[in-house]
Amino acid sequence: MITGKEDLLQSLIEAFLMEKGTNIFYAEASSRAADPSAKKMFQDLTVWEEKHMEFIRFLYQSIQGDRDIEGFESFQAKTETGVTEAGIPIKDLEATIEKYAFVDDRTALKVALEIEGKAYGLYRRLSEIASDPNARTVFKEMMGQEQKHVAFLRELEGRLA
């Protein structure tokens, strides 16, 4: 788990792995969602997490001067992650899927808000404590992205109420 003591490159790798974990969870949640609206919401979140992964990959490769996309894609395919950006283990969230079976949008929304809210909190904390100033900048950007996710979900919550 990322602590804020990592240098910029290690911070990017750790952030990438957390985004990948969240992407895996949302894809799984989408495939299991019973409600079409919940399925769509998780599909949208899956795409957003993919964009985060692409952003981090771009930063990593730019810093390294490495434009070898195949090399990074190989890294991505080989890396395993057991945790989401919220710091919640994927297996715990999968148990949540089993427990609730996402029979309605509100339950799905509750889980998504928990993930995105915790991710925002994590990136906010890291943006404040990271020892590398460039890593702090990346974490602030990621925090802003998570804030957009929370706003999107809150808007959706308002429409469902």
Where do the structural domains in the chain lie, given as residue ranges? Answer: 8-160
Query: Which residue reads 């799905």 in tokens?
Result: 108
For 55-97, the pLDDT digits (tens) are: 888 888 887 776 555 566 666 666 666 666 666 666 776 666 5
The CA-based diameter of the chain, rounded to the nearest angstrom, is 49
Rounded distance between C-alpha atoms, residue 28 and residue 23, angstroms:
9
For 98-155, the pLDDT digits (tens) are: 655 555 677 778 888 888 888 898 889 888 988 888 888 888 998 999 999 999 889 8
Rounded distance between C-alpha atoms, residue 139 and residue 124, angstroms:
7
pTM for this one? 0.72
Rounded distance between C-alpha atoms, residue 13 and residue 6, angstroms:
10
* Class of domain 8-160 (CATH, top level): mainly alpha
* pLDDT in the model for residue 88: 66
Rounded distance between C-alpha atoms, residue 84 and residue 118, angstroms:
10
